[in-house]
Structure 1
Amino acid sequence: MIHHDPNRVPTVIQSFCRRLADNADDPVSAFVYDLDALVQRVRWLRSHLPEGVELFYAIKANSEASILNTLAPWVDGFDLSSGGEVQKVIGSDLTNACVLSGPGKLDSELRLAITAGVERVHLESLDEIRRLNTLAAEAGITQRVLLRVNPVLPQTLSSRLSMAGQPTPFGIEERQLAEAVKRVEGSEHLELGGFHVHAMSHQTDLHRHQPLLDGLLDKWPIWQALAEHPATITQLNVGGGMGVNYLGPDQFNWPALCQHLHQRLAWLSNPPRVRFEPGRFITAYCGYYLMQIIDLKHNHGEEFAVCRGGTHHFRLPAAQEHDHPVVHLPADPGRGGSERRVTVVGQLCTPKDVMARGVRMTEPRRGDLLVLPLAGAYGYNISHADFLCHPRPDLHFIHGGSI
């Protein structure tokens, strides 16, 4: 298993960050993405997949062109959730299969997806069935689709961010699934191929994710039998949702999940073609957010390191309400001193601009670098970059130790 220590930054990243700071006029703030590590990560994920199980990448986690181009040879396709993401893939000249999912799709986005030739559209509601059929008819095509289901799930399978098994705007309630299947089959310009369930995110517990897959595979023959011709229903998209542990080295046990899935599929007489579509679980580990200390101060018994950048660049810690791991790179690595607990903050005029509290540092000083690992997903792309009109961070993509 690949181990990720959130308190360690590879030497190549440390050296690159120091060079950035040495060549800058102002204190630095930047994202650094290690593309070699990204390839290693996705190859490792693929190596454990059961035969025939597909791996798509949900680009909402990080849709930078360099990330997509690096992943393209190693993933079966891309999961898209907006017209903007469709445009981004089109603009990158990628040839991977794509699907369009997500609630609240505009007619213009559905038209764009049809024109772009997406492999599947994941339908989220009964009315979306009607709308897509009309648009496909206008285009003179038959659009292949999956039905996204919000199934009945035990409460024990919930996670920090649940999309199914409870009232949410995602998917079609399971009790309406028979009607949804009937409507798709009655739509001249739609072709149903299976079902999609993205039930949760931030799930770090293998022993909750295994029964989720078990439950979906138990439901598979029941859902398949709803179709007039069950043999044409072949695909089960089980989403992503495997979490990242930002606070320690123990990560989600992907090999064990894949082995469990392999065994379950072997037991089925008519197994579906299973597809995963993780985002965070693929790219989080390849990214680093760099900050440089501008000022150090004490207020009411607490010591603060005020740094270039902040949550307007890297919103993840505030969004998930955790103290992000921080690695201290002193300007003088050999200096000694006492260890102190420091709260790492950014430049924003809000007390919520906090990256981490209680970070242990040895004699932090102005000009020292701080590196926040596990910043490759849901970092810059979910941040309020225009707040206070600060400069946007530089994005650096390194391969073999250089840009």
Structure 2
Amino acid sequence: MDKKDEALLERFGEHPTPFYYYDGDALHAHVSSLLSRLHPSVRVHYALKANGNVALAGLLRSLGCGVEIASAGEMFVAMEAGYTPEDVLYAGPGKTVAELSEAVASGIGCIHVESVRELRLLEDIAARAGLFVRAAVRVNPDNDLSGSTIKMGGVPRPFGVDEGQLDHFFTVLEDCPHVYFQGIQVYTGTQMLKADQILASFANTLQLAERIQDQYGVAMHTVNLGGGFGVPYFTHEQPLDMGQVIDGLNAMAEQTRSRLPGVTLIIESGRYLVAQAGMYVCRALYTKESKGEKFVVADGGMNHYASAAFRGRRIRDNYPVRIMRGQGEGQEVAIQMGQGKDMPVQEAAAVELRLGKAADRIGELQPKATVDLETVSIVGPLCTPEDCLVKKAQLPPIQEGDYIVIPNAGAYGLSYSPVHFLGHATPAELLDFRGEVHVIREHGDRTDLLHHQRMIPLLEDIF
């Protein structure tokens, strides 16, 4: 076991499982590297939905990111993290009157209008308040060049205004004197791993922005290119060549200066910024066999990390998982990298993920000696068959008390999970930054379940 693994286990031992663990130094280096290579006219906004922890949001703010939100709750978190209203982009197809009113009153940076109805509502709210609001239109384009398997545009969706409906939108905009038009947003897909498809989508969006400016006589102050930058979760996936994306984007930014003078290009990212800096950590409670199959029951599961339990995923394969034995118990760290059906057992057992490298892909695969494996499923403590973190994978033998570590868990972990289901406590979140482990979310307890609930008099008391 190397010194880094020993240090990890020492940190793990100081906190009861389950918890999320974030490498703040790796996150800092990763995001700083990305921002330093971008053209001055390109701004990065952190998609808060990926991970809403206020400390992580604050760290990204300190590095120079803006923030993208989709609810009044996220607006509150963003303000607590130190963002100013001008740093905020507000997205989402179902903004309420109360949410829009709060955003208008705050002097928000920009609201992404998702329908003609929302545009009229925004004008009415701003007019009644005697204020002006900056807004961009989210466009659902006719063409989708992203190649994304999870499509957010280019097909029928509740998001944005169809490209074919823009005539109507800009006609209505002429009667909205309290809405200052900023530009457009296009977000066609997510978890994209091919640089050429991302750049094709960006180029299509910039061409659309030029057509809109020329056709409707509006000035483009911002063009939000979206994001969708992916990270590899499975052995068959190759990491995104972010260097190619940055070079292509910077070239587009330079070319755009003459065609769209003074425009700011915006990219949004959640997963790519934070995913690979995080791990989900739980422990094995015991093992059991049922009808010829072996199970490891862990103290955490779907309620903490729903994505790992296959919920909402199109790829029905195991996420990578690492098994770590506590110090002094005489066994090396072992690992399994989310073996798919076509991956040889020997190959799966011969790789190890080392986190914390400051690069486009935080982490690298290195050789490791093979170990004896067994077929096992890792399940959580919930009484539902959906609570399965790892299904029929080839793993080293797991003992009670072993740590079960799922890497790449910094995005869409706790923020995407049904934490109240069956009443288990919310896991802690830990941030290891500059030599100190900070508890950035305390472990929950049973009283959290009753927060904002109220008892009524029992029937016996009424009658």
TM-score (norm 1): 0.90
Change (3 A) 1:167 1:367: same
Compared CA separation, residues 22 and 297, structure 1 to 2 (3 A)? farther
Once the two structures are TM-superposed, the CA of residue 387 in structure 1 deviates from its matched residue by 0.9
Among 342, 346, 358, the alignment partner of 2:380 is 346
Which of the residues 244, 253, 264 maps onto 2:231? Answer: 244
Q: Is the 8 A contact 1:326 1:359 kept in 2?
A: no
Who is 1:367 aligned against?
A: 401
By how many angstroms is 1:333 displaced?
4.5
Q: CA deviation at 1:18?
A: 4.3
Look up the equivalent residue of 1:132 and give its one-letter code. L
CA distance in 2 between partners of 1:361 and 1:153 (Å): 44
Structure 1 unaligned runs (5+)? 1-8
CA contact (8 A) 2:146 2:192 kept: no
Equivalent pair of 1:343/1:358 in contact (CA under 8 Å):
yes
Q: Partners in 1 of 2:9 and 2:107 — Cα distance?
A: 41
Distance 1:18 1:364, change over 3 A: farther
Q: Is 1:52–2:30 an aligned residue pair?
A: no
Query: What is the SS of the residue equivalent to 2:287?
Result: strand
More off after superposition, 325-334 vs 337-346: 337-346
Q: Using the alignment, how far apart are the partners of 2:171 and 2:265 within structure 1?
A: 23
Of the structure 1 ranges 373-382 and 86-95, higher mean CA displacement relative to structure 2 is found in: 86-95
Q: How far has the Cα of 1:357 moved from its partner?
A: 2.5
Q: Cα distance, 1:262 vs. partner?
A: 2.1
Contact 1:33/1:376 (8 A) holds in 2 = yes
Aligned partner (choices 240, 243, 256) of residue 244 of structure 2? 256
Structure 1 pair 216–308 and aligned structure 2 pair: CA distance change class (3 A): same
Q: CA deviation at 1:361?
A: 3.1
Deviations 1:271-308 (A, max 9, x none): 44210011111111111100100111222333221111
* Gap change, CA 1:370 and 1:45, over 3 Å in 2: same
Distance in structure 1 (CA, Å) of the matches to 2:421 and 2:156: 33
Aligned length: 389
Measure the CA separation in 2 of the matches of 1:105 and 1:145: 13
CA apart distance, 1:61: 0.5
Post-superposition shift, 1:341?
Answer: 2.9
Aligned in 2, Cα 1:135/1:14: closer, same or farther, shift over 3 Å?
farther
1:66-85 → structure 2 map (5 Å cutoff): 66-85=55-74
Residue in 2 that maps onto 1:4:
none
In structure 2, the residue matched to 1:15 is: 7
**Contact 1:12/1:401, CA 8 A, preserved across alignment:** no
Q: Secondary structure at the match of 1:309?
A: coil
2:123 to 133, 146, 157: 133
- Contact 1:86 1:112 (C-alpha < 8 Å) held by counterparts: no
1: distance between equivalents of 2:393 and 2:60?
Answer: 34
Counterpart in 1 of 2:30? 41
In structure 2, do the counterparts of structure 1 residues 239 and 14 end up closer, same or farther at CA, with 3 Å as the change threshold? Answer: farther
**1:167 deviation in Å?**
0.2
Match of 1:313 among 284, 297, 304: 304
Residues 113 and 12 of structure 1, relative CA distance in 2, 3 Å threshold: farther
Structure 2: distance between partners of 1:22 and 1:73: 28
Q: Distance in 2 between matches of 1:122 and 1:29?
A: 37
- Which one is further off, 101-110 or 322-331? 322-331
- What is the rounded CA distance, in whole Å, between the counterparts of 2:299 and 2:174 in structure 1? 56
1:286 aligns to what? 277
Q: Is 2:209–2:220's contact at 8 Å kept on the other side of the alignment?
A: no
For the aligned residue pairs, the C-alpha RMSD in angstroms reads 2.2
User: Any stretches of 5+ residues in structure 2 without a counterpart?
Assistant: 335-370, 438-463
User: Equivalent residue for 1:295?
Assistant: 286
On the 8 A contact 1:111/1:135 being kept in 2, the answer is: yes
User: Against the structure 1 CA distance between its residues 19 and 213, is the aligned structure 2 distance closer, same or farther, given a 3 Å change threshold?
Assistant: closer
TM-aligned CA deviation for residue 19 of structure 1:
4.1
- C-alpha displacement of 1:75: 3.0
Counterpart position of 1:176:
165
Q: 1:270 to 1:393 in 2, by over 3 A?
A: same
For residues 387 and 351 of structure 1, do their structure 2 counterparts lie closer, same or farther at Cα, with a shift above 3 Å needed? Answer: same
Q: How far does residue 140 in structure 1 lie from its aligned partner after superposition?
A: 1.2
* Percent sequence identity over aligned pairs: 28
Looking at structure 2, the residues matched to 227 and 66 of structure 1 have their Cα atoms a distance apart, in angstroms, of: 42
Asked if the contact 1:57/1:75 (under 8 Å) is kept, the reply is: no
> Cα distance, 1:58 vs. partner?
0.8
Residue 324 (structure 2) pairs with residue 329 (structure 1)? yes
Contact 2:185/2:226 (CA < 8 Å) preserved in 1? yes
